Amino acid sequence: MKWVYTIVRRWYVVIVAMYSLLLANPEPIPLSFDSCYMQSSWYKKVLDSCMQAWYAAEALHEHRSHSMSEDERTLYINMLMGRLTFASFCLAQCIKTEQTIMSDELDYLEQVLEQITKQCTTLAAQCAEHRSCAQQLIQIMVQKLRSIE
């Protein structure tokens, strides 16, 4: 009879421990690998934004001959303009904080901006205002990049 008491007592302890874990319900700590080990620099933000702008310009270029709804075109134009504006801001912050950028990184970023410019020159006439605005933003960013070198 003593062995039954020991088994019941052990199960009781296990059940109480499991129940207390369920009641505690600790919130997970919102940490990601990127936030811990890959701190985003201003240069990385510039590059990421430029890549997203390049995607938007490429999408507008590819779909110019196909039927693209007005909403889709507006979405891509807004993405292009917003990302270029944010990239310009981040580049200004990069210069302001005197962040060290290697010359290879500057060259690569300039090449990305040139590709975006090429895509923007082929945009349809419906996007003419946005095209010239995007090209001006890119020119300003290229001038800032060259002033860093």
In a domain, 79, yes or no: yes
Q: Is the full-model pTM beyond 0.85? A: no
**CA neighbours within 13 Å on the CB side: how many for 40?**
13
User: Which tens digits make up the pLDDT trace of 76-112?
Assistant: 889 999 999 999 999 999 888 888 888 888 899 999 9
In a domain, 55, yes or no: yes
- Tokens at 41, concatenated: 């620099």
In a domain, 11, yes or no: no
In a domain, 78, yes or no: yes
In a domain, 136, yes or no: yes
Closest C-alpha to 85, from 44, 53, 113, 116: 53
User: Which tens digits make up the pLDDT trace of 23-55?
Assistant: 665 666 566 655 555 557 889 999 999 999 999
Give the count of domains, the chain.
1
Confidence of residue 114 (pLDDT cuts 50, 70, 90): very high
In a domain, 6, yes or no: no
Indicate the average pLDDT of the chain. 80
In a domain, 111, yes or no: yes
Sequence-distant (≥ 6) Cβ neighbours of residue 119 within 8 angstroms: 54, 57, 58, 60, 61
In a domain, 43, yes or no: yes
How many Å apart are CA 134 and CA 82, to the nearest integer?
A: 10
Distances (CA, A) of 136 to 17, 93, 97, 106, 118: 65, 19, 24, 19, 13
The CATH number that applies at residue 44 is 1.20.58
Closest C-alpha to 122, from 39, 34, 62: 62
Structural domain including 49 reads 39-148
